[in-house]
Amino acid sequence: MPIVNRIAAMHADITAWRRDFHAHPELLYDVHRTAGTVAEKLKAFGCDEVVTGIGRTGVVGVIRGKRGGGDRVIGLRADMDALPIEEQTDLPYRSTTPGKMHACGHDGHTAMLLGAAQYLAETRNFAGTAVVIFQPAEEGGAGGKAMVEDGLMERFGIQEVYGMHNYPGMPAGTFGIRPGPMLAAADRLFIDIEGVGGHAAKPHAAVDTVLVGAQIVSQIQSVVARNVDPLDSAVVSICMFQAGHTDNVIPQTAHLRGTARSLTPEVRDLLEARLHEVVEGTARLYGARAKLTYSRDYPVTRNHPEQAAFAAGVAEQIAGKEGVDTSLVPVMGGEDFSFMLEARPGAFIFVGNGDSAGLHHPSYDFNDSIIPAGTSYWVRLVETAMPG
């Protein structure tokens, strides 16, 4: 079954919503304008319930199917927040807020789920309850965890939960999914190094924290190269190195920050243990002290097999069998939909964004041509799971 005709007719409206969100990006939990717009539209669509303030600034809409329908309750989730990036495009709807932009497509995710909510509220051609979830703070703020801890699943009786994200480089309007690990656990590394400051002309009288930090950056790569099974996946990246204030003083301290990614609990445990040993041991080798703080942030986004197979079948209704990759290679990016999948069975799917700039790039833009495919996926998922 191709794109839903009514949704094709709504394409221009959904695109306008998306571009409005794009022009007014908001970060983390500070998504008051976006959440307010979402709540107003859900009420205007005639949702049975619209609840704000779940997980601080999350919005939930409840849409009940035909009377006498089933007791099944399915959650559909979109994220609302943007990134602290200066947009580098000449789009007519480019960001109006300096230093903030929708560089990950959450504007498109929100707009597509709003379109699905409007359609479902109009037609109610299903027997059960659809719960549309608009989440703040996906970009590092664990808004998914906040909503779960605020009673999202219990309060609305959600039995299964589904998420979707656009995927640059995948043909526009196609889908990709897999059972099991879909995206990696994303952990944060904070390394604080203490040496002995001194004059740059007398390095022998100091313990150079720049040298120590450089050695740590190099040595920790041995953890992935020589401790992780080559058939497993892991990434360790140091992305920030701060030390010193001038060109003739060896700094007393240095600070490094980075990330560790993994797809299994065993590799995650290994990374944490070995990174502590390598960081602290390397510092001692040079006469310095180093403290690693390993912060476990987002867990692995792990699709439940039954729900992943179901989601793939729904996607095939939209894109055809040839337009759905059911063995997509896992992505080492992180996603806090993982907290919802730990709370309830469900699945996370990618929809192709075509030949666009990559996610988190200052010239990225969500591809509005995929709106009918993504919105139709949400609608068919509800109607297929809970036929009326």
Q: Which residue has the tokens 């300096």?
A: 98
Q: Is the dihedral of CA 15, 16, 21, 22 positive or negative?
A: positive
Cα–Cα dist 97/82, whole Å: 11
3-state helix, strand and coil shares in percent for the chain, rounded to the nearest 5: 35, 30, 35
Crossing angle of helices 209-219/265-285, nearest 10°?
A: 150
Active-site residue set: 81, 138
Cβ-Cβ contacts under 8 Å for 31 (sequence gap 6 or more): 57, 80, 81, 136, 137
Cβ atoms 101, 82 nearer than 8 A: yes
DSSP state of 331: B
DSSP state of 17: H
Cα–Cα dist 94/368, whole Å: 14
Please report the DSSP string for 212-247 in residue order: HHHHHHHHTHHHHHHTS-TTS-EEEEEEEEEE-SSS
